[in-house]
Chains A and B, each alone.
Chain A
Amino acid sequence: MDFREDNGWSPYLAGALSGVVLVLSVWIAGKFFGASTSFVRSAGLIEKFFNPERVSQIAYFKSKVPKIEWQWMFVFGIFLGSLISSITSSSFRWQALPDMWENRFGTSRTKRAIVAFLGAAVAMFGARLAGGCPSGHGLSGSAQLAVSGYIALICFFAGGLVVARILYGGR
């Protein structure tokens, strides 16, 4: 057990404060939370470095232009905010394997790297097909009472529940 976990706040409080941040962001900047589009733009930026002509012909990069914009900075900000919070509360921990993973699948870093990498590629493909991730659909969509948000959110959890059950069994 990690005692430093106790440095955290109630998830209700931290979540509600994030809701205030969302409302202020919509009010001041006109921007709703989202994250997955930034991975498309980043992928495009990387591909552009090697082959700009090819990228200019890909239809998806015409609607999601590879550039640094609001959401990209938002995602980078999440990294910084988490870094600041964890360092100032001594809950920063340089950790290769999550505890739950290690207890179930052992100490192989390669195994974790492969599963995480493949899972991430699958997740991002799904998020782009669904039109958003837990930020865009789950938070922003649900807060706006968007039908797409609830459908996507339910399916996110449904897919995740099945895989978690396969990986860890019942309980």
Chain B
Amino acid sequence: MKVLIYGLVTGIFFGFFLQKGRVLRYDKQLGALRLIDMTIVKFMLSTVLVGMVGVYILKDLGLVTLSVKPTNLAANIIGGLIFGAGWGLLGYCPGTSAGAFGEGRWDSLWGILGMLVGAAIFAEVYPTLKTSILTWGTFGNITLPQVLGVNHWAIVPIFLVGALVLFWWFEKKGL
């Protein structure tokens, strides 16, 4: 029960900030994919940067454990491209479709229904995928520091600087 309340409260805060950042809108999501409005990229990268620093500090203090998704090259790449194509058509991702409905953009409801169907179809074909695509290029739960053989704090600052340069460029170009 407690874990359900944590989920709800966390979601409310995240949904609140997503709405404040105006990233729940089709126009913002397609704006990024058309390379004319980088609002969602600014939002996502800011979340990632704060998350990266915070999570790795807590990890070093032994307070949290990572939960790294496996790198399955074929599945990550093919699935990622398929997701991207569908995302371009819908203009919302799974989390933002719920949020978009919350601010009244009710075309997201078609998205939520379509996603339920897509999930059901995936469950049907999963046994076939499990013995094919999902076995191609599997590397386990690897992180960038592991692959490069360096400490994570050697990589985090590079990301920070890279993102700040990107932000500066976005603002300069008015994106």
Contact = CB atoms under 8 A, between A and B. Distances in A.
Contact of A130 (B16, B67, B80, B143): B80
B165 interface: no
B48 A159 contact: no
- A interface bracket (residues with beta carbon within 8 Å of B): 35 or more
Contacts of B25: 98
B69 interface: yes
A126 B12 contact: no
A129 B133 contact: yes
A40 B98 contact: no
Contact of B31 (A19, A100, A133, A142): A100
B123 A122 contact: no
Interface centre among B34, B46, B95 (most CB of A within 10 A): B95
Contacts of B93: 35, 123, 133-135
Interface string A133-171: 111111111111111111111111111111111011001
Contact of B70 (A15, A21, A78, A131): A131
Contacts of A109: 107
Interface string A85-102: 110010111111111110
Given A94-B104, A98-B105, A126-B81, A75 B76 contact: no
Interface residues of B, number: 125
Contact of A82 (B24, B51, B94, B145): B24
Contacts, number: 529
Given A39-B115, A121-B86, A152 B19 contact: no
Contact of A20 (B50, B97, B104, B106): B50
Q: Is the interface of B mostly helix, strand, loop or mixed?
A: helix
A122 B19 contact: no
A78 B122 contact: no
A60 B122 contact: yes
19 contacts: A15-B45, A18-B13, A28-B6, A35-B94, A42-B116, A59-B126, A81-B15, A94-B106, A109-B107, A123-B89, A123-B93, A129-B134, A130-B76, A131-B72, A132-B69, A141-B68, A146-B142, A148-B69, A154-B80
Interface of A: 5, 8-33, 35-36, 38-40, 42-44, 46-47, 58-61, 64, 68-86, 89, 91-101, 109, 112-113, 115-165, 167-168, 171
